[in-house]
Amino acid sequence: MPNFFTINGKAYPETEKVNAQVGDRLLIRFIGSNSGFIHRMHIHGGPFTIVATDGVSLPETQWYEKDTVNVGPGERYDVIWNAREPGQWLLHCHINHHATNDNVEQEGAGGLTMIIEVSP
C-alpha cells in the first residue's frame, strides 16, 4: 500500500497554498492517477460545481453541485469553487490514509491535502 499521496507531485505540508479573495471563483481539476485508488475529494468552505468530466465540458444546464466527488483512476473532474468566506480552507481527500504521510500527520495533515487561503 502506498503511504504518500500527492497533489501536483507534492505531499502536504509541501503542497502549494492557493491564495484567493472573497468573491473569487477557482477552477480546480481533479485527476485520478493510475494508482488503482479512488480519492474522495472535498473542499471545505462550501460546495463546488462540476463543470466538466473526463475532458468533456458539460452544458451549463447540466452543471451540478457536490460536497465531495469520488475520483477514480483515469478520471478527471473540473470544478468551480467560490470563495465565500475569508479563512483557510482545506482541499483534501476524505480517506484518512490518503491525507497523512505514512499514516502520520505533519502540521495537522499530510498527503492529498492543500490549503486555499481566502482574504476579505
More confident residue, 2 or 54: 54
Q: What is the model's pTM? A: 0.92
Is the pLDDT at 58 greater than 70? The verdict is yes
Q: Give the list of residues 6+ apart from residue 56 with CB closer than 8 angstroms, or none.
A: none
Overall average pLDDT of the 83-102 stretch:
95
Cβ proximity of 32 and 74 under 8 Å: yes
For residue 3, the model assigns a pLDDT of 80
CATH architecture under which domain 18-119 falls: Sandwich (2.60)
Q: Give the list of residues 6+ apart from residue 96 with CB closer than 8 angstroms, or none.
A: none
Cell of 94: 476524505
pLDDT tens readout for residues 35-55: 789 999 999 999 999 999 999
For residue 1, the model assigns a pLDDT of 67
Return mean pLDDT, the chain: 95
Out of 39-43, 85-89, 95-99, pick the least confident. 95-99
Distance between CA atoms of residues 48 and 24, nearest Å: 13
